[in-house]
Amino acid sequence: MIFGLNHTLLTVAFGSASLGAVAGALGCFAVLRRQSLLGDAVSHAALPGIALAFILTQSKEPLTLFLGALIAGCLGAIVVMNVVATTRVKSDSALGIVLSVFFGAGLVLLTFSQRQPGASQAGLDRFLFGQAATLLNRDLWFMAIAGAVVLTTLVVFWKEFKLLAFDPVYASSLGFPVRALEVLLTALIVAAIVLGLQTVGVVLMSALVVAPAAAARQWTNRLSTMVVLGAVAGAVAGVLGALTSSTFERVPAGPAIVLFAAVITIFSFLFAPGRGLVWQTINMRSRHKSLRADALLVNMLDMEEQHAHDNPEHAHSTRALKAAASVTGAFDVRGSLENLNRRGLVTKLPDDRWKLSTTGTEHASELTRGENIGGTPTS
């Protein structure tokens, strides 16, 4: 044991990290193509493939079960695509149908498989909710190799997948085999989902596909950066989930991984620059302050124009400005005046009086003409 980490924990942590990285990277394409529910349908559709693979081969080798799950998952995805393309059924309804039918068939086959020789050692029920603690070295190597193949394929077809994600019609006009690319990309997503069934399980795997990608989307507008951030978020969630499961008794790793992925997503929704709710609230308040200051600036210009024939150097007291502002809506007049003063748009005179500067007069004139509203003065 090194620093409290035993061999089993390291195996689970590395396996969960590789799973999270692959799922997070491929999930970006599912999110961008509005196919987030595809992960849920595919993960449930893979269950009958796992059961059939065991029934036919009586083998619990990871490759055998993986191939069975991959075939069933791809079949489910193809059924969804064909139903949407050839009928009036919407994609969400098609996904729901495939999810329920395949999952029901999987439960029936899973029950039947328990009566087969060697069923007690098969442990097929772990694919329902995941059981990361059962990962062995061979499972880790298999996940690492399969994940590397998936990511390598993603890199090789990067340009095609990028174009497919944003503008499939344009890709078709350029002569790209859009249908074949859609099938290949869907197969990669299915492979990423199937890889995580033993760790996270059928029920929760879709969350590990969607959550890291949704979190990554909040931080960037570039697809390459989003894919990297999605992979990192998924890997971090995997490691933290594995560590939490090993620290606290009776805390399964699969749900812990998904919970950490959810925490990362919530944090991104709140604090990501530009898109985060906190940043939006700050920007909105700043925008409101700027609009109130501009409204006060226009009021001051109107008042100066009204008194220009009496006294060209007329200045306005804070009380008078508050009275004028109350007509259009109450707000912090003194704070707005201080804001305008810092921007060089008004000048503070003795006896708590205020006067427009030359720049302020020009900016107020632009505002009355509907120019540069809420912006900065154009000097």
Domains and CATH numbers, the chain: 7-274 (1.10.3470.10), 279-368 (1.10.10.10)
Q: Which of 90-94, 234-238, 248-252, 304-308 has the lowest mean pLDDT?
A: 304-308
Cα–Cα distance, 283 to 286 (Å, whole number):
5
**What residues are paired with 354 via a beta bridge?**
316, 348
- pLDDT band at 76, cuts 50/70/90? confident
**Tens-digit pLDDT profile for residues 210-250:** 999 999 999 999 999 999 999 999 999 999 998 898 888 78
Q: With a cut of 60, say whether residue 78 has pLDDT above it.
A: yes
Q: How far is CA 13 from CA 16, 17, 20, 66, 184, in A?
A: 5, 6, 10, 20, 29
Strand, helix or coil at 2? strand
C-beta contacts of 366-369 below 8 A and 24+ residues apart = 367/294, 367/297, 367/298, 368/298, 368/301
Per-residue confidence (pLDDT) for residue 274, from 0 to 100? 80
Task: Name which residue leads in pLDDT, 319 or 121.
Answer: 319
**What is the layout of strands, in order, in the sheet containing 346-349?**
316-317, 353-356, 346-349
Which DSSP helix (H) or strand (E) runs through 117? Answer: none
Q: With a cut of 60, say whether residue 96 has pLDDT above it.
A: yes
Cα–Cα distance, 288 to 282 (Å, whole number):
10
**Tens-digit pLDDT profile for residues 103-144:** 888 888 888 877 766 555 456 666 776 777 677 788 888 888
Per-residue confidence (pLDDT) for residue 111, from 0 to 100? 81
What's CA 341's distance to the chain center, in Å? 42
Interior angle at CA 192, CA 245 and CA 228, nearest 5: 85
Please provide the size of the chain in residues.
Answer: 379
Write down the pTM of the prediction.
Answer: 0.76
Q: Which of 167-176, 193-202, 235-244 has the lowest mean pLDDT?
A: 193-202
Task: Name which residue leads in pLDDT, 373 or 76.
Answer: 76
